Amino acid sequence: MIASARERRHAARRDALADAAIETLQSLGYAHTSLRDIARRTGLSLGRLHYYFADRNALIGYCVRRYKARFIAAIEQAIGGATQPRVVAARVVAALAASIRDNAETHRLWYDIRGQAMFDPALVEVVDEVETALIAITTLVTGRLGLDRALALSIYLAMDGHYRYAMQRHLDGDAQIVLAFERLATEALARFLPDEVRMDHDAHV
Amino acid sequence: MIASARERRHAARRDALADAAIETLQSLGYAHTSLRDIARRTGLSLGRLHYYFADRNALIGYCVRRYKARFIAAIEQAIGGATQPRVVAARVVAALAASIRDNAETHRLWYDIRGQAMFDPALVEVVDEVETALIAITTLVTGRLGLDRALALSIYLAMDGHYRYAMQRHLDGDAQIVLAFERLATEALARFLPDEVRMDHDAHV
DNA sequence: GAAGATTCTGGACACTCGTCCAGAAACGGC
DNA sequence: GCCGTTTCTGGACGAGTGTCCAGAATCTTC
């Protein structure tokens, strides 16, 4: 189905609105962001928000999809064509560390919304989608590490745990945590490697 | 300082109020729980909530402390005096699985509040305290597993990741996830064990 | 340029919220 | 029993909220 020019422009304006809205969301979080906050901070009218999105959750869900898609694209780009396990691992860890250092305020939003999905059925679908995509990129990484892809979920969960913790402590002002994250995350990945690869890996860490 | 009888009764009423309030919190989550909701659902007056707690965050923080203290006590009890790594691991995993199966709705609250702490400085202190206590119990488990206690943080983060995921999927209606959690969490613990212990451990799993 | 469609605005509706507080009710010590 | 203290209530204050929608403004097509 070819979109008309008008539909394309409509979609572009919708995207631009979401991109403007996300600043407010990441700053205030789900609980404390009202549509009026978004309107006020973006200079857009309250009515316009309602024109482009059915309701508050629709806007929030759309924002989260867009930002996580960009995050996943950045991880993919960081990996590039790397196929050596230790290069892949180093690149993933470095990309995650950089995202904490440079964008912790943005990334905390995912943990907020993911938590809210446990209380609000309207958020379940987008959260499941995003988490599925995160597990998928982890599956790609798992393959590149030369591991059985059945390990992807466990790798995702271990890395996610480390990421969230580091990000939260970074937000709390811990100046050493990103460096600690790099070490701990690298070790966490190494734990999944077979012994002979792991010994080789450790020798280079 | 010996509390007077009146002070003790005051504290007991404060605790009872918090215990009544937590039902509402765990049901509605941070974002959607108002003090009026709590008053309405507990049959207490709005003014009483304000009499016993300075503000909304004080009440919420107090509720979370109480419930997490109970959770940690339950884990400690489940471990008991076990000293054999595979018994310790099995008991921890079983206790975590049971808590998902029986109390997922309660436990989602921790993830909610922990996420909110990234946006609201007023919650940072209680969240740090609780997370420190969780890491402490994990340190005890780490010792019982015969491992270097420096691994406790990584073990905590890996287990936490698995726990949150399983709980969330359980809440979403996944009927197999608690069983899958038991397997994955056991594997995750095993990954920390030295090879000779791990091979022994794997033989019993 | 007119007409129809789309985009946008800002007012209104019907609530809700956290906090404050005066005064009633209950308690406890002398 | 009195009085001072504590506990509790429910009304009020001064906001704020998501949603709706009539009508103005703009765009596009013929």
User: Is B2 part of any domain?
Assistant: no
pLDDT of residue A9: 87
pLDDT of residue B176: 96
Three-state DSSP state, A196: helix
Which CATH number does the domain housing residue A81 bear? Answer: 1.10.357
Interface membership of A112 toward B (CB under 8 Å): yes
User: Is B31 part of any domain?
Assistant: no
Mutate to test the interface with A, among B30, B32, B118, B155 (most CBs of A within 10 A): B118
Residues B128, A172: C-beta atoms closer than 8 Å: yes
Q: What HEC string does chain B produce?
A: CCCCHHHHHHHHHHHHHHHHHHHHHHHHHHHHCCHHHHHHHHCCCHHHHHHHCCCHHHHHHHHHHHHHHHHHHHHHHHHCCCCCHHHHHHHHHHHHHHHHHHHHHHHHHHHHHHHHCCCCHHHHHHHHHHHHHHHHHHHHHHHHCCCCHHHHHHHHHHHHHHHHHHHHHHHCCCCCHHHHHHHHHHHHHHCCCCHHHHHHHHHCC
- Total structural domains within chain B: 1
Q: What is the average pLDDT score of chain B?
A: 91
User: Is A51 part of any domain?
Assistant: no
Q: Find the CB nearest B168 among A30, A118, A161.
A: A118
pLDDT of residue A79: 93
pLDDT of residue B205: 41
**By residue range, what is the domain housing residue B134?**
56-203
Mean pLDDT for the stretch of residues A57-80? 94
Predicted ipTM of the assembly: 0.91
User: pLDDT per residue over A102-114, tens digit each?
Assistant: 999 999 999 999 9
Mean pLDDT for the stretch of residues B185-196? 86
User: Is B168 part of any domain?
Assistant: yes
User: Is A49 part of any domain?
Assistant: no
User: Is A25 part of any domain?
Assistant: no
* List of B residues 4-33 with CB within 7 A of strand D: 6, 9-10, 13
Band (A3; pLDDT cuts 50, 70, 90): low
pLDDT of residue A205: 41
User: Is A108 part of any domain?
Assistant: yes
User: Is B22 part of any domain?
Assistant: no
User: pLDDT per residue over B60-105, tens digit each?
Assistant: 999 999 999 999 999 999 999 888 998 999 999 999 999 999 999 9
Interface membership of B31 toward A (CB under 8 Å): yes
Band (B204; pLDDT cuts 50, 70, 90): very low
